[in-house]
């Protein structure tokens, strides 16, 4: 079964957003954990717990924020 170009285009924004959100939330969870707890004995478990909450929240929020940010950027960039 081959994917049509329309199918790829249809899912592109979801996959693209995921590829942006994953590294961003990984970095944010790591920095937040190191600032608050340091490298304690259970730092990796705390990291995974924090990241498992951050990832779905950030992914859902991205679909609200990105379109609004795009519209705002277009307004600012097209001002005379």
DSSP string for residues in 12-63: HHHHHHHHHHHHHHHHHHHHHHHHHT-S-TTHHHHHHHHHHHHHHHHHHHHH
**49-63 as b/e: b if 16+ CB within 10 A:** ebbeebbeebbeebe
Q: Considering its fold, how many domains does the chain have in total?
A: 1
The domain in which residue 37 lies consists of: 5-77
Is the pTM higher than 0.85? The answer reads no
pLDDT per position as a tens digit, 11-44? 898 999 999 999 999 999 999 999 998 888 999 9
pLDDT per position as a tens digit, 44-65? 999 999 999 999 999 999 999 9
């Amino acid at each position: 079964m081959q994917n049509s170009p329309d199918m790829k285009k249809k899912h592109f924004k979801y996959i693209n957003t995921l590829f942006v959100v994953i590294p961003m939330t990984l970095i944010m969870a790591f920095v937040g954990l190191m600032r608050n707890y340091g490298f304690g004995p259970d730092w990796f478990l705390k990291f995974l717990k924090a990241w498992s909450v951050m990832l779905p929240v950030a992914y859902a929020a991205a679909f609200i924020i990105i379109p609004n940010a795009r519209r705002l950027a277009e307004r600012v960039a097209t001002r005379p």
